[in-house]
Amino acid sequence: MFLEIKNLKKSFGTQANRTEVLKGIDFSVEKGEICVLLGPSGSGKSTLLNIIGGIDNADEGYIAINGERTVDMNEKSLTRYRRRHLGYVFQMYNLIPNLNVKENIEVGAYLSDRALNINELMKTLGLYEHRNKLPNQLSGGQQQRTAIGRAIVKNPDILLCDEPTGALDYQTSKEILRLIEEVNHRYGNTVIMVTHNDAIKNMADRVVKLRDGQIRKNYVNEEKIAACDLDW
């Protein structure tokens, strides 16, 4: 088992205002899988992803990667875990505005001791001819491709994507999903992608459905289809 999520619980607020956002989450993801985490807005998807990403802590339960629990790691190992194992792609891209495409991707490479070749990666992502542009000179799709580049350049074991197509139109969304699929195929990174778009589950190897902080479904998708054939 590559990534194990065990009895994860998380609440926000204090006393009377306390709400339990994750109520005991259990699932695991195999190496190289695309796992789509599906659920309506407010169901706890981002909270779960942030805990997997080591950005937030759980109240109970644990995450283990290759059998090593992140709760048992000290600050230094946790930092190494984030650097080595995790790449993060957000809905709103979060690029550095005064750095160009290439430099934004270099930020990701800088944190790694096994970075991919940046020029090659920019070609894969269709960004090479845009490499000297600043984020505000790019379309939404190009900005998201740059964000994928920044996350993937360090060749992380796990690529976490939080609503990566949430701000994009239909055609551009499909193009981004196709790229995530290609990255998974080419570099073998495990992908955990959060979405509220039901159609996206069809490109997954594993589908985990979340509602009100609980898992409602967790299954292997036997009829996986290519991202370019998705329709919604």
| 124 lines the binding site for Mg ion (CB under 5 A) | no
* Amino acid (one-letter) located at 10: K
Segment near Mg ion (CB under 5 A); pick from 14-22, 46-54, 73-81, 146-154: 46-54
Both tokens assigned to 213: 């902080």
Single residue of 7, 31, 42, 59 touching ligand ADP by CB under 6 A: 42
Q: Phi/psi at 58 (nearest 5 deg)? A: -85, 160
Looking only at the bridges linking them, the beta strands covering 60-65 and 214-220 are unpaired
Which parts of 127-229 are beta strand (E)? Answer: 158-162, 190-195, 206-211, 214-220
Question: CB 27 → ligand ADP: shortest distance, Å?
Answer: 15
Instruction: Name the DSSP letter for residue 115.
Output: P
The residue type found at 51 is: I
Residue 21 found at the interface with ligand ADP (CB under 6 A)? yes
Q: Which is nearer to ligand ADP, 163 or 205 (CB)?
A: 163
Give burial (CB, 10 Å; 0-12/13-18/19+) of 184.
Answer: buried
Interface mask toward ligand ADP for 113-152; x: CB under 6 A:
----------------------------------------
Task: Tell me: does residue 46 bind Mg ion (CB under 5 A).
Answer: yes
- Residue 70 interacts with Mg ion (CB under 5 A)? no
For Mg ion, the closer of residues 46 and 146 by Cβ is: 46
**DSSP letter at 117?**
P
List contacts with ligand ADP (CB under 6 A).
Answer: 12, 21, 39, 41-47
